[in-house]
Structure 1
Amino acid sequence: MATTIERHIAVYADNDTGIEDLPYELVERKGVGHPDTMCDAIAERASQLYSRYCLDNFGRIAHHWFDKVMIFGGEADLDYGRGELTNPYTVLFAGKGAYRVGEHQIPLVPILTQAATEVLTAVSTGFDADRHLTVDCRIVDHQGAGRGNSRYQPQTLDDLVEIGDTTLVSNDTNLLHSYAPFSRLEQAVLDIEQLINGPAFKQRNPDTGWDVKVFGSRNVESFSFVVNMPFLANGIRSFEHYLERKQACHAEILALLTEQLGSEPTLLVNPTDRNGRPYLTALGSVADTGDVGAVGRGNRITGLITPMRSMSIEAPAGKNPLDHTGKLYGVLARQLAVRLHELLGKPVETHLFTSKEAPLDNPDEVVVRVRGLSDDPAETETIRNEVEAALGATVDLTRRIIVTGVTMW
């Protein structure tokens, strides 16, 4: 006889003022070349590669969390027509993980190095790991209170966790939120960064860097944007040339925004050069000149920083996809909000709370708020069924995170 799971699912009408009806809105995005975003990407890639290695060699996954990655920037020799990294980046990995399963050693440091190399190569120009990267591994396999010796020091395959293990429970107490759809301002901020760091723009403008930061504001129907966008020093001949190149990029960005918003917004690119200081880098990031980044200090799972929305401060990147609900439920909340908005055609907020040791498919509370929720019980039933389906598919979500990857920044 099948066991019925009693889940705590609440569905409410959202009667607060909608984001588009607020008189003022602020949004930020740190681009893929920002040191904080680099750290998120490196941490998540490390978890993905580590999990895949375990699956390929053991059929199961060793417990780990690599969500305490930091980048200590290097040093660069910069001038017009010249940009060279003279001291490398240092990527520090701190966290916990298994170094071996019995006598089988896991090549942890090479895995971490591969993760850092792949990410930094993708979000910089001219990156060479042999010259530009140092990896500092501080991952430990110490045991926590109340844990058996097998958690980070597994002796046999039975000490590892299989994807789909029905005994898996939440590794922590977490509170996660998400929403859909994006507001006009949120979508515009995201689109600007993705334009600048997209392949077509980079092909047209190969002298642009990757450490793009976008700020957007809306005052009633007046939109304003500030874009910080570096240029590669070896492609800029003079300050005048820099201003010419900046103006050309400014025109592209403004054209995108004007088409998207239906009117021309205010756009300021690289405000620091108002004092005669061009934004130049060697490889495309302020990490070239010593800036430091850390996991969790940048974008939320939506890819944005939205202080006027419900958002979690969880840092999901690098956490174990098996049972770290700060990661699993963060992705689930986001995907569930998008799914419900697509089904209902209405703005949706999702909120999940779980206590430590709660079954993965049964968090303590799930709350869904819908703007314009109808009195028809069928709509509420549709929402409940979608929540049930999402919670029942955490195993599939884990596989997706490991195999295909889910962007969380």
Structure 2
Amino acid sequence: MTAEHLSTVRILPDTSADIEDLPYELVERKGIGHPDTMCDAIAERASRRYSEYCQKQFGRVAHHWFDKVMLFGGEADIDYGRGDLTKPYTILFAGKGAYTFGDQPIPLRELLFEAAAEVLSEVTTGFDPKRHLTVQCEIVDHQGAGRGHSRYRPQVLDDLIEIGDPRLVSNDCNLLHGYAPLSRLEQLVLGVEQYINGAEFKGSNPDTGWDVKVFGSRFGEDFKLIVNMPFLAAQISSLEHYFARKLQCEEHIGAFSERLLGTRPKLLVNPTDRNGRPYLTALGSVADTGDVGVVGRGNRINGLITPMRSMSIEAPAGKNPLDHTGKLYGVLARDLADEIHRETGLPVETHVFTSKEAPLGAPDEVIVRVLGWEPDAEEEARLREIVERSLADVSGITTQLVSTGIVMW
């Protein structure tokens, strides 16, 4: 933090209604096999693979933007007892990145293919990258006007910025938000999707697909879930078999929901089959039949879509982890809310605003709102200390992102 640019930190009492006290609540989650979520995961995996390669080879991370990923779905031959992908998925990467460091090539295209292949193999059943994947690379290394050094055509080590370098500044103007804790409905929606796509459920129900979308609503104390969950066509022999298997899975999902929530929500699984057509896929995703996915159209950084909460519109997946504050401060806002909630035991909202070129450790404003908090000088000092400690360690978020990425799925 510099004397020229200091953060304004405000700790405020929040007098608005708790989310649990609202008469109505809506939550959504797009599961790991949804085309939009696939794009988020691929973009983030590509950034990690590229960053790890640069760290290993050069000791620093080359600047890059892999956050413009699109998935064009394939084509499938599907019928009872049969499900084959006849036309591959196409993954389009657009953005900016370095192809070389001095005279040393960076295998960018190979790293992008590996990232896409890894993710798609993890979130489908029977995916073979050699047959089922094509990658179109539109990453450019053009240099921006007025740049003092070559970001995308680095020649010497000083053209690459080290993690934690005090010269790092915000790449953009950004507004980020976080909150804690999750409401009961949010925990339910998140937990149900993770359960369906988790090892236990998939081990018992290997004929289920991965493109799981969960919608939750709460009216007072009445909870409702709508779950879209495909089945693998090759493992379903008839319409009667499909409905029998759906009923068995519905019972598993209902029992899990009851354990998690303490009461069984009203549950509707696969409303699309009310027209008499089963929800069948080849590999477990609607991407099998041509659906398109795009980065940033799905879950926010906490893995949920929560229209009744403060939500950032930033699409962090695939963004440069060194200085893009739309990514870094999204993690910061989320983690700050979690830590301050643990400290106070009260619901917390965090809001971070930064202008372009502000030092990474000094966003323009950090606002913390604590629901039901009675202002107290001693506790306010502790909360400010938490904020300041977090701002002083933004480079720790970069290190975390390079090693583990963002988890929104």
Taking structure 1 as the reference length, the TM-score comes to 0.98
Equivalent residue number for residue 121 of structure 2: 121
Equivalent residue number for residue 174 of structure 1: 174
Shift of 1:170: 0.3
Q: 1:345-370, CA deviations, whole angstroms, 9 ceiling, x for partnerless residues?
A: 11000000000000000000000000
C-alpha contact (below 8 Å) 2:207/2:231 kept by paired residues: yes
Aligned-partner Cα distance in 1 for 2:49–2:262:
43
Q: Do structure 1's residue 140 and structure 2's residue 140 form an aligned pair?
A: yes
Aligned-partner Cα distance in 1 for 2:255–2:140:
50
Question: Matched residue of 1:296: which SS?
Answer: coil
Equivalent residue number for residue 61 of structure 1: 61
Q: Do structure 1's residue 185 and structure 2's residue 185 form an aligned pair?
A: yes
C-alpha contact (below 8 Å) 1:177/1:349 kept by paired residues: yes
Q: Alpha carbons of 1:119 and 1:173: their partners in 2 closer, same or farther (altered >3 Å)?
A: same
Equivalent residue number for residue 394 of structure 1: 394
Q: 1:237-273, CA deviations, whole angstroms, 9 ceiling, x for partnerless residues?
A: 0000000110011001111112222222210000011
Equivalent residue number for residue 373 of structure 2: 373
> Where in structure 2 are the equivalents of 1:81-230 lying within 5 Å?
81-148=81-148, 150-230=150-230
155-164 or 276-285: which moved more? 155-164
C-alpha contact (below 8 Å) 1:316/1:408 kept by paired residues: no
Aligned-partner Cα distance in 2 for 1:396–1:123:
29
Question: Matched residue of 1:303: which SS?
Answer: coil
Equivalent residue number for residue 272 of structure 1: 272
C-alpha contact (below 8 Å) 1:91/1:135 kept by paired residues: yes
C-alpha contact (below 8 Å) 2:97/2:152 kept by paired residues: yes
C-alpha contact (below 8 Å) 2:126/2:283 kept by paired residues: yes
C-alpha contact (below 8 Å) 1:74/1:289 kept by paired residues: yes
C-alpha contact (below 8 Å) 1:172/1:357 kept by paired residues: yes
Q: Do structure 1's residue 32 and structure 2's residue 42 form an aligned pair?
A: no
C-alpha contact (below 8 Å) 1:34/1:212 kept by paired residues: yes
Q: Do structure 1's residue 261 and structure 2's residue 294 form an aligned pair?
A: no
Aligned-partner Cα distance in 1 for 2:273–2:408:
32
Equivalent residue number for residue 300 of structure 2: 300
Report the RMSD for the aligned CA atoms in angstroms: 1.2
Aligned-partner Cα distance in 2 for 1:149–1:8:
31
Q: 1:144-170, CA deviations, whole angstroms, 9 ceiling, x for partnerless residues?
A: 232245111111111111111100000
Shift of 1:376: 1.8
C-alpha contact (below 8 Å) 2:172/2:325 kept by paired residues: yes
User: What amino acid sits opposite 1:316 in the alignment?
Assistant: P
Runs of 4+ in 1 over 4 A off after TM superposition: 2-5
Q: 1:89-144, CA deviations, whole angstroms, 9 ceiling, x for partnerless residues?
A: 00000000011011111000000001001100110000000000000000001112
Question: Matched residue of 1:161: which SS?
Answer: coil
Aligned-partner Cα distance in 2 for 1:98–1:382:
43
Shift of 1:343: 1.3
261-270 or 34-43: which moved more? 261-270
User: What amino acid sits opposite 1:188 in the alignment?
Assistant: L
User: What amino acid sits opposite 1:319 in the alignment?
Assistant: K
Aligned length: 408
Aligned-partner Cα distance in 1 for 2:140–2:148:
16
User: What amino acid sits opposite 2:369 in the alignment?
Assistant: R
Equivalent residue number for residue 408 of structure 1: 408
User: What amino acid sits opposite 1:167 in the alignment?
Assistant: R
Aligned-partner Cα distance in 1 for 2:128–2:72:
16
User: What amino acid sits opposite 2:170 in the alignment?
Assistant: S
Shift of 1:380: 1.0
Aligned-partner Cα distance in 2 for 1:344–1:136:
49
Equivalent residue number for residue 317 of structure 1: 317
Shift of 1:5: 7.5
Question: Matched residue of 1:96: which SS?
Answer: strand
State the identity as a percent: 68
Question: Matched residue of 2:298: which SS?
Answer: coil
Aligned-partner Cα distance in 1 for 2:52–2:264:
47
Question: Matched residue of 1:379: which SS?
Answer: helix
C-alpha contact (below 8 Å) 1:94/1:137 kept by paired residues: yes
User: What amino acid sits opposite 1:360 in the alignment?
Assistant: L
154-163 or 299-308: which moved more? 154-163
Shift of 1:340: 0.9
Shift of 1:197: 0.1
C-alpha contact (below 8 Å) 1:143/1:149 kept by paired residues: no
255-264 or 384-393: which moved more? 255-264
Aligned-partner Cα distance in 2 for 1:371–1:149:
46
Q: 1:370-399, CA deviations, whole angstroms, 9 ceiling, x for partnerless residues?
A: 012123211111111100011111111111
User: What amino acid sits opposite 2:370 in the alignment?
Assistant: V
Shift of 1:235: 0.4
Aligned-partner Cα distance in 2 for 1:208–1:264:
22
C-alpha contact (below 8 Å) 1:60/1:162 kept by paired residues: yes
Aligned-partner Cα distance in 2 for 1:5–1:390:
17
Equivalent residue number for residue 52 of structure 1: 52
> Where in structure 2 are the equivalents of 1:329-340 lying within 5 Å?
329-340=329-340
Q: 1:13-32, CA deviations, whole angstroms, 9 ceiling, x for partnerless residues?
A: 11011100000000000000
